């Protein structure tokens, strides 16, 4: 398919993306923001549970509060929007499982038997006693993180292909972010994603490890031939 003027191919965005240091203070087109958010919401998740939640911060006052909770990083106030990527470890107990079943049926996807089987598996995975009934216990944080990051990363690439610049951030204090944005205590704040138009030139590419250090063939440590 021909590429739309102003849009980049994913392969180009992957080559050209840098973590943006500073943004022009310009608003983001709401149609683009919608595309970016919706792309993330199509990300895959275990049992289609979608435990992610996103707070989109655009108001000046909220940005200010968020910046104060994020080690005073100026790009939070400069960016057109900051997506606060969160995960709700209790969502499955509080209606998400029913909703997954409802939309699955609506799409002709699940039958009653499969839905019940999934329900039991999810309850055992997320609600079981760690080590006894298959529950994952404290590693629920890891479980949440892997889901929220795949959705958030999808949003980052969509923003980049639409011609925006982005900055992912882990430099924040979770408790303070919760207070700043009225996020419930049980919800995990996983990452921030600033989106906007870069101010000035990008910082230089800092390079990456050669794949011989990070990619193995078939088993750990075995060199991969390309
Ligand atoms: C999960 C994550 C958290 C990050 N947190 C911050 C941050 O809080 N502040 C910041 O300035 N950069 C942050 N970065 C950006 C990294 O410093 C940057 O990606 C890295 O130096 C490589 O540069 P590049 O992305 O431009 O290639 C973060 C990146 C990732 C993926």
Burial class (CB in 10 A: 0-12, 13-18, 19+), 124: middle
pTM: 0.94
Backbone φ and ψ for 87, nearest 5 degrees, come out as: -135, 140
* Residue of 86, 93, 85, 87 lying closest to 125 (CA atoms): 93
Rounded-to-integer distance, Cα 68 and Cα 172, Å: 9
Alpha carbon nearest to ligand 1 atom 19, residue: 19
**CA pair distance 225, 219, nearest whole angstrom:** 13
CA distances to 7, 115, 148 from 52, in Å: 27, 21, 5
Q: Given the CA of residue 21, which atom of ligand 1 is nearest to it?
A: 11
Whether the Cβ atoms of residue 42 and residue 157 lie closer than 8 Å to each other: no
Query: Ligand 1: which of 14, 16, 19, 77 to mutate, judged by most atoms within 8 Å of the beta carbon?
Result: 19
Tokens of 222: 């075995």
CA distance 66 to 57: 8
Query: Ligand 1 centroid vs 211 CA: distance in angstroms?
Result: 20
Instruction: Give the relative orientation of helices 60-68 and 174-181 as an angle to the nearest 10 degrees.
Output: 160
For ligand 1, atom 7, name the residue with the nearest CA: 169
Instruction: Let me know: does 176 contact 66? Beta carbons within 8 Å.
Output: no
For the chain, give the number of residues.
Answer: 226
Determine the pLDDT at residue 66.
Answer: 98
| 217/212 Cα distance (integer angstroms) | 10
Name the closest-CA residue to atom 18, ligand 1. Answer: 19
Query: Which residue's CA is the nearest one to ligand 1's atom 14?
Result: 169
In the chain the beta strands, taken as DSSP E runs, fall at 23-24, 52-57, 81-87, 165-169, 188-198
H helices present in 44-139, as ranges: 60-68, 74-78, 96-106, 112-127
What is the CATH superfamily name and number for domain 18-200?
Answer: NADH Oxidase (3.40.109.10)
152 Cα to the center of ligand 1, angstroms: 14
What's the 168 CA to ligand 1 centre distance in angstroms? 6
Ordered per-residue pLDDT tens for the chain, 226 residues: 445 567 999 999 999 999 999 999 999 999 999 999 999 999 999 999 999 999 999 999 999 999 999 999 999 999 999 999 999 999 999 999 999 989 988 998 778 888 888 888 888 888 877 666 667 766 889 999 999 999 999 999 999 999 999 999 999 999 999 999 999 999 999 999 999 999 999 999 999 999 999 999 999 999 999 8
**H and E: helices and strands count for the chain:** 9, 5
């Amino acid at each position: 398919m021909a590429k739309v003027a102003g849009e980049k191919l994913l392969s180009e965005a992957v080559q050209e993306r840098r973590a943006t240091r500073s943004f022009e203070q310009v608003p983001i087109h709401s149609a683009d923001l919608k595309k970016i958010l919706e792309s993330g919401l199509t990300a895959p998740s275990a049992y289609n549970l979608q435990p992610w939640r996103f707070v989109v911060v655009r108001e000046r006052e909220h940005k200010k509060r968020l910046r104060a909770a994020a080690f005073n990083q100026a790009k939070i106030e400069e960016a057109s929007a900051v997506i606060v990527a969160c995960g709700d470890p209790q969502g499955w107990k509080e209606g998400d499982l029913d909703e997954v079943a409802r939309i699955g049926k609506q799409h002709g996807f699940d039958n009653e038997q499969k839905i019940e089987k999934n329900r039991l598996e999810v309850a055992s995975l997320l609600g079981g006693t760690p080590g006894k009934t298959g529950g994952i216990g404290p590693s629920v944080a890891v479980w949440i993180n892997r889901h929220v990051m795949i959705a958030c990363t999808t949003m980052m690439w969509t923003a980049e292909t639409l011609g925006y610049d982005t900055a992912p951030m882990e430099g924040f204090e979770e408790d303070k972010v919760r207070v700043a944005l009225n996020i419930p205590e049980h919800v995990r704040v996983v990452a921030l994603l600033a989106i906007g138009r870069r101010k000035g030139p990008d910082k230089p590419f800092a390079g990456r490890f050669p794949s011989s250090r990070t990619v193995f063939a078939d088993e750990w440590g075995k060199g991969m031939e390309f």
